[in-house]
Amino acid sequence: MFVKLIFCASVIHAQSEEDKRWLLWERLPDWSATALKSLKLDSLYSISDFINPYYLEADFNGDNKIDIAIAVEQVRTKKKGFLIVHQSGKKYFVVGAGKEFGNGGDDFNWMDVWKVYTDKKIGPGVGEKNPVALKMKAILVAKSESSSAVIYWTGDKYQWYHQGD
């Protein structure tokens, strides 16, 4: 039994980076993998599993179609973040991964929690005076035991709302 465990561990460890990337692509919903390939972002971003789960699905823009947020790494700098791709079109939005976004900066390697945010409002946050009413689902990003933010669709872009420390 012990020998089998050692063998299995070495096989898992021996998995190449290419095999790992292939599996990440294979596990994506079909529509999103097709959309990503048509956007031709391979030279700029690679899918990453720096956070688990490595993708979130919800209707982030309110068009009654499931969108996807996928953890990525900028190829050139290795900075972490995610891409949001709307199912209804060929638009994508970069959060981190080499692009400044809100107070999260251009590298979201600090993020160790993310999930779909389903509340209907975001209650007053740090430096914010009024709560924000949400019409659709959003993305909560956080550093556990620290601060968090909600990233939500305004109708034409994604907005950062700091929730506090």
Cis previous bond, 53, omega within 30: yes
- Model-level pTM? 0.85
In-domain check, residue 30: yes
Whether residue 10 lies inside any domain: the answer is no
Domain extent, residue 31, equals 17-164
Q: Is residue 3 assigned to a domain?
A: no
For the stretch 142-160, pLDDT in tens is 999 888 999 999 999 999 9
Say if 46 falls within a structural domain.
yes
Domain count within the chain: 1
Q: Is residue 78 part of a domain?
A: yes
Cα–Cα dist 75/72, whole Å: 9
Residue 106 forms part of a structural domain: yes
pLDDT in tens, 95-118: 999 999 998 999 999 999 999 999
Residue 133 placed within a domain: yes
Q: What are phi and psi of 50, to 5 degrees?
A: -65, -15
- Whether residue 44 is contained in a domain is answered as yes
